[in-house]
Amino acid sequence: MIATARRAVLVPALGLALCLLAVEWARVLAARDWPLAGQVAGGAALCLCLALYPPGVLGLGRDRLAARLLGAAALTAALLLPAAVRWTGELPLGGGLAAAVVLVAAGEEIAFRGALFAAFERAWGGPAAVLGTTLAWTAAHMVSHPPAFLPAVAAAGLLLGCWRLYARDLVGPMLAHIVADLAL
């Protein structure tokens, strides 16, 4: 009986992780031929994870909004440190591609540190959710980033995952991810 209940929680969590990896890799591959369309379609597909859980379970909501926005500013500063070192004074994106980057960053947070985090936390607990989503998110970036950059992706995922666990918030990670991706 307990094994069946445990399996009922584990299988959806692992299935969601594999599905998100497939969506991320498909988004990156599609964006090579269709940069704007591939990013928009992939970001929209990731945002569909909003339907999996209520906003409170995903870490979204308006309660403690001032603290969440302050957290977003702190997380943004931490994520932008590497970009600040090599910033040339120019913003690299314009127009539609910037909007697509916002959609993808928001979608990644909703999918990985929202829905997947909730599924992993239910299956294995909070610390395992942080580790599991960090590993899945890093694996999702293997197609789009050079191997030397993956430790930075993992560090960002770990930071955002810890924030998600201990602040019970997705607003801060989402805003920080959006600003960081626009700056990079």
Q: What is the pLDDT of residue 62?
A: 85
Round to whole Å and give the CA distance between 64 and 56: 12
From its phi and psi, is residue 164 left (phi > 0), alpha (psi between -120 and 50) or beta? alpha
Mean pLDDT of 103-111: 96
The two tokens of residue 19 are 């599905």
64: which DSSP letter?
A: T
Q: What is the pLDDT of residue 8?
A: 64
Name which of 98, 90, 80, 89 is nearest 35 in CA terms: 98
Residue 10 pLDDT class (50, 70, 90 cuts): confident
Mean pLDDT of 72-83: 86
Q: What are phi and psi of 50, to 5 degrees?
A: -60, -25
Q: What is the pLDDT of residue 37?
A: 93
Give this prediction's pTM. Answer: 0.89
CB neighbourhood size of 163 (10 A): 23
From its phi and psi, is residue 32 left (phi > 0), alpha (psi between -120 and 50) or beta? alpha
Tens digits of per-residue pLDDT, 16-40? Answer: 999 999 999 999 999 999 999 999 9
Q: What is the pLDDT of residue 175?
A: 94
Residue 170 pLDDT class (50, 70, 90 cuts): very high
